[in-house]
Amino acid sequence: MQTFRCLCLVMGGADLLFTAKVPYEASKFVLKDLAKNYAKTAVRELNKRNASNAFDDWVWWIFRDLPFSHLVRIFDCFLVDGRKFLYRVALVLLKLFFKSNVNKEDSLKISDQMRHFFSEIPLSAEQLLRKSYKIRLTRAQVRKLEKKNEMYVKSLRHQSYDKNALKKSESCESLNIKVSRSFSGPILSVYDETDLKAERRRSFQSLTALPFTSSSSLLLDIAHWRQIYSWIPIRISLLIPKLLYSTMENGSSLQMMYSLIEGYEPTLIIVKTTQGFIIGGYCSADWAERKTFKNSMSYFGTGESFVFTLEPSAKKFAWQGIGKTNASNDTQYFQAGDNSKLTIGGGGGEALQLDENLTKGRSEKCSTFDNEPLVEDSDFVCSIVEVFGFNRDN
């Protein structure tokens, strides 16, 4: 019972064990990024051998391969310092392995060589801990890399899903797909982007299966919801929208809005302007996260965020870092807010910004989503603002 209780406490800590696949998959990219700074020789050697996949098993270097006496000491430090300490240990192990006389002609794979070396590590547990603590890492540094690489892993999943969704069916003639042959290679399918988008739109409009039949929105009808549900992540599309805030019911106050939507992740912000435009933003992170920064308008969020228009036409503007391992800093401005304004999308301009009274707004081109302004003129006046969260039931 005590062991079970301890495990539950460890798994409940956000900075301890990985409890989902995406963070675990992202962790190997985090270690790669750290190794480029702290174990450059190891990275060069792994690249020479085309063995960068050795990072895939990095957690097992510690929990499976090291002697038990070392693991006990490491686990004590891990409970105090969190995952940061595991990265430190992994970096030391990498450096030790490549400083040793590694036999490049050895028939064993590099991963097997590493496993054998770690099981007979030439350092005592005390020496390993000392070397690990000499590597200066901060929680903020690690968390930033984890967020970046989690976005990258999620973007790979979305890319994979999109590619699978576009596979040719047996009766693909109706899609008007053009086929060409490369000079000496296999047949390559070339999709006419305009035709394909139109076909996907038509196919989607014929679907009626939403996880709900009506909503309490004054702005969105079922057709709007169908469009939105075609854009949001699949796992969220299984949930039901819940109206958290409306200027018609709760008054026009940004602070009031924050108080009602904090604790929900993600949120969907919908704005209708006095000119009849319906625009909005899908915000992947809890707006309460804005309180964790010293600077009031610090950006946060992930690459699942996007902005969009619904009226007069529907268009989604997704994160520009999708599929890129090293997205530039000016494409990572997702969400920011304080008591005077709320912003979605930044870098060269704000994709969607609302003032403290939720009466005036602004929309500009921004580098995070590479969007065109969501309204005809950059400045607009709000008619109604609604914010939704997502629940498993009503």
Contacts of 344 (CB under 8 A, 6+ apart): 269, 281, 283, 305, 307, 334, 335, 350, 351, 352, 353
**In 193-338, alpha helices (H):** 193-205, 222-231, 247-250, 254-261
Of 188 and 223, more confident: 223
Strands (E), the chain: 178-181, 187-190, 240-246, 267-273, 278-283, 306-311, 315-318, 335-337, 341-344, 352-355, 360-362, 379-391
- The closest of 92, 78, 75, 83 to 134, measured between CA atoms, is 92
Cα distance from N-terminal residue to C-terminal residue, the chain: 36
- The closest of 360, 277, 344, 275 to 352, measured between CA atoms, is 344
pLDDT, residue 214, reads 83
pLDDT, residue 394, reads 58
* Residue 277 · residue 372 · CB < 8 Å: no
What three-state secondary structure class fits 191? coil
CA dihedral 108, 109, 110, 111 (to 10 degrees): -110
2-152 placed in CATH 3.60.9.10: no
Q: Does 1 score more than 70 pLDDT?
A: no
Give strand pairing partners of 48.
none
- The closest of 264, 193, 200 to 226, measured between CA atoms, is 200
Q: What is the pLDDT of residues 332-373, one digit of tens each?
A: 899 999 999 999 999 999 999 999 999 999 999 999 999 999
Q: Is the peptide bond before 266 cis (omega within 30 degrees of 0)?
A: yes
- For the question of whether the overall pTM of this predicted structure is more than 0.95, the answer is no
Tell me the residue type at 338: D
Q: What is the pLDDT of residues 157-206, one digit of tens each?
A: 555 544 444 444 333 434 444 433 333 333 333 344 444 444 454 444 44
pLDDT, residue 5, reads 61
Q: Given pLDDT bands bounded at 50, 70 and 90, which one contains residue 101?
A: low
Q: Determine the average pLDDT of the residues in 42-52.
A: 86
Of 267 and 21, more confident: 267
What are the domain boundaries of the chain?
Answer: 2-152, 219-391
